[in-house]
Structure 1
């Protein structure tokens, strides 16, 4: 039987012991230094695929709350979610049993599960599944938390061996412990994000702003960061930190914060102080997100031409995160109704931004803003304040 009949890559050789050790040590080092769950999953899948020389390898996680299995690392595919008892993976997880199949199209023992899984997928994609292995893995409490799935051996025999099963079992044991740690880290980070966002909401609610204001500013900042070709990590960091830009408002008196008319000179100086207050609240944190939030709180009212506050710094002396948040915050503030003004029309805001290019705002960020405008307007619509209105209050 010709190898390319199954549309598979060229044949390979099994790893020798030295190559196997190299793969294990290389991936162990990468995984140990990785904190993002999606990246850990991808590394796990790549490790398993290389160890047993398979065409595809997928790490599935069990979502007990939704009674589903999900994966973001099916090679060549996006995130997949299936019922927790579906297909061979569901069978392996449900019955805590490793599955070993030489040819999916001739196997009778698992035929119902194959028809509900691999064979159905083959019909949709044109891929030809032959050899299959599925091995469940556990957390430190001994509870099944997911499974490794390998498809199609790429050596001349085109079948997985007992040694492959042994190697994938080893990878599965390591996966359970590493993924448990990554999940815990992810949960802690999500909790931190939630706390930061809620703190940002508190700061805005003092000035009668809605929670959607901080959501919009966060999303705008994220889009601008990506448009500036910043790394995904830095864009995500800014998105998490930017909701805290006005946290210093918690210390500004209501009489100033919500004054409907123009502020006096003394009142304006008091209002300006919210940047310093926010910075002082956050600057001593050892958490990367909060340290970033301190910079954003301190510098989001600085201007490119040096006429902002609190320090009057200019140009690239203003941190890029401060420059991005400045534009995102002004765009949302101008487009929102507040106690002291009506919302501006979009055309008026865009005209102002063109005028303030190189004055209030970093010119490059203004250019990116106009490039990203369709996406920014979609965010504004999705998180509009109208979405928060209770129909019973109308």
Structure 2
């Protein structure tokens, strides 16, 4: 750089002597992790980059150092910004490849990239080209400095102020994201997956409250018939997993020991860099949340965390109660189906197999997970009307007379009459299945002789599942058929008894149906 040129001299970044006794150590804290503040320097003068890096070389704010990235024109800066979307701060010159290159870059950042988080400090050696008053009013910047006025201390103070603002904006964003997760879960609050979403939202909120990193886990203590263990309800960062996982299989051993200790002692554990929060509902449901990577919490912050968890435990209790109610209803439906099968002396797991066959076939047909689950829950009640059939007819080992068969056929209507009065989705579906699972695709079935797609898809699906399982099983009036004979029958009844599309899907994916058959032998 030629310092004899007055124009270039005005554009230099000059750091004046500081007053003696200036000490910035109170603002410095011990580095808590490897995270950094990304700072973009955009200036066409190499010396500006060098001096800025030299002055801020030992800068640490909130436990994190600075990581610098340089661009020497607005064009280069656009690529740099796209490569570092999480940058906290940009130190920006105005005059570079054009007189207003820096100002155009500001518009690009705020309007095109929609980046409202990054803090913009405008530094200019030619204030006449971009007067402070008009720039502050017309452009979304956070500070304006003439390069000749910037001392080491002023630059340091400016950067601290900008980073503090950026940090607080990110905390607000995380808090908003957590609230959005909770709000999204509200419409389906009583479904298992929504409970996981709710837990995920809670975790996001707590991370933002304590300004921690994203490695966090929410665990619950579960007792099953086989074992009792600690399971992950929600997790983020390095601990994030898909599906239900045991905590001991996911988190590091030292982290699991803290979680286990909290469950055993039933108290929260706080340290300088992590916390293990224990909370328990009135019904005795236990939860532990582990979060690390933050500065020591004040008593007030701890109080806020405890209050937050106490309120959250009430919400979890309501969700657990509704899940318990839903699971009880499912058990009742299965029990009603099994009572029917027991009464007709059809032993084994007929209703379970029909339920699982129906769910799988529904998915293969293209129905949603939600609808497939409805069919799985409703199909066990397909023969519930048999409770109204006399034992002598229901369990007759020989052929039925025409009159007896008419009595047997009445079970479809009886089942429908039993179930039709409910306004619950599963029982509504069960009523339809009970009434239509003996209808045939060609219209020759009963009770109403419905034909083709006029028969509800739930009835068509259950018909295939029920007949397949009935033919593969021993009954009072027959022995089980071998598999080849059953498959030949399905093919022979394609477009006659059964929906041809469903028969093709069943045979195409036969291996998956046979897995279910073996599982519930």
The Cα shift of 1:310 comes to: 0.9
The Cα shift of 1:2 comes to: 4.7
Pick from 193, 205, 230 the counterpart of residue 69 of structure 1.
Answer: 230
- Which residue in 2 is equivalent to 1:332? 469
> What is the alpha-carbon distance in structure 1 between the residues aligned to residue 207 and residue 391 of structure 2?
66
Structure 1 gap ranges (5+): 103-130, 153-157, 385-394
In structure 2, do the counterparts of structure 1 residues 11 and 323 end up closer, same or farther at CA, with 3 Å as the change threshold?
farther
The 5-angstrom pairing of residues 201-220 of structure 1 reads: 201-220=338-357
> What is the alpha-carbon distance in structure 1 between the residues aligned to residue 352 and residue 459 of structure 2?
17
> What is the alpha-carbon distance in structure 2 between the residues aligned to residue 151 and residue 292 of structure 1?
48
- Which residue in 2 is equivalent to 1:121? none
Pick from 192, 207, 214 the counterpart of residue 55 of structure 1.
Answer: 214
**1:302 touches 1:310 (CA, 8 Å); kept in 2?**
yes
- Which residue in 1 is equivalent to 2:246? 81
**2:222 touches 2:229 (CA, 8 Å); kept in 1?**
yes
Misfit runs of 4+, over 6 Å = 9-12
- Which residue in 2 is equivalent to 1:136? 278
Tell which has more relative contact order, 1 or 2 (C-alpha 8 A, sep 6+). 1
- Which residue in 1 is equivalent to 2:12? none
The Cα shift of 1:359 comes to: 2.1
| SS of residue paired to 1:73 | strand
Normalising to structure 2: TM-score of the pair?
A: 0.60
| SS of residue paired to 2:234 | coil
In structure 2, do the counterparts of structure 1 residues 364 and 256 end up closer, same or farther at CA, with 3 Å as the change threshold?
same
**2:182 touches 2:198 (CA, 8 Å); kept in 1?**
no
Give a deviation string over 1:84-118, Cα, whole Å, max 9, x none: x951112223233333456xxxxxxxxxxxxxxxx
| SS of residue paired to 2:214 | strand
In structure 2, do the counterparts of structure 1 residues 96 and 201 end up closer, same or farther at CA, with 3 Å as the change threshold?
closer
Q: Which stretch shows the higher mean deviation, 30-39 or 346-355?
A: 30-39
Pick from 506, 509, 514 the counterpart of residue 369 of structure 1.
Answer: 506
> What is the alpha-carbon distance in structure 2 between the residues aligned to residue 341 and residue 144 of structure 1?
50
The Cα shift of 1:332 comes to: 0.3
Q: Which stretch shows the higher mean deviation, 201-210 or 28-37?
A: 28-37
Structure 2 gap ranges (5+): 1-32, 37-84, 89-166, 249-254
Normalising to structure 1: TM-score of the pair?
A: 0.78
The 5-angstrom pairing of residues 11-160 of structure 1 reads: 13=167, 15=169, 19=173, 22-23=176-177, 25-33=179-187, 34-49=189-204, 52=207, 54-63=213-222, 66-74=227-235, 75-81=240-246, 87-101=257-271, 132-140=274-282, 143=284, 145-152=286-293
> What is the alpha-carbon distance in structure 2 between the residues aligned to residue 185 and residue 72 of structure 1?
17
**2:179 touches 2:201 (CA, 8 Å); kept in 1?**
no
> What is the alpha-carbon distance in structure 2 between the residues aligned to residue 373 and residue 140 of structure 1?
48
Give a deviation string over 1:111-167, Cα, whole Å, max 9, x none: xxxxxxxxxxxxxxxxxxxx64321122146x5611122355xxxxx7586587666
Pick from 460, 464, 467 the counterpart of residue 323 of structure 1.
Answer: 460
In structure 2, do the counterparts of structure 1 residues 242 and 55 end up closer, same or farther at CA, with 3 Å as the change threshold?
same
In structure 2, do the counterparts of structure 1 residues 31 and 167 end up closer, same or farther at CA, with 3 Å as the change threshold?
farther
| SS of residue paired to 2:495 | coil
Pick from 163, 181, 193 the counterpart of residue 318 of structure 2.
Answer: 181
| SS of residue paired to 1:55 | coil
| SS of residue paired to 2:277 | strand
> What is the alpha-carbon distance in structure 1 between the residues aligned to residue 317 and residue 503 of structure 2?
43
**1:58 touches 1:149 (CA, 8 Å); kept in 2?**
yes
| RMSD of aligned residue pairs (Cα, Å) | 3.0
In structure 2, do the counterparts of structure 1 residues 256 and 78 end up closer, same or farther at CA, with 3 Å as the change threshold?
same
| SS of residue paired to 1:135 | strand
- Which residue in 2 is equivalent to 1:356? 493
Aligned length: 345
Greater Cα radius of gyration, structure 1 or 2? 2
In structure 2, do the counterparts of structure 1 residues 49 and 10 end up closer, same or farther at CA, with 3 Å as the change threshold?
farther
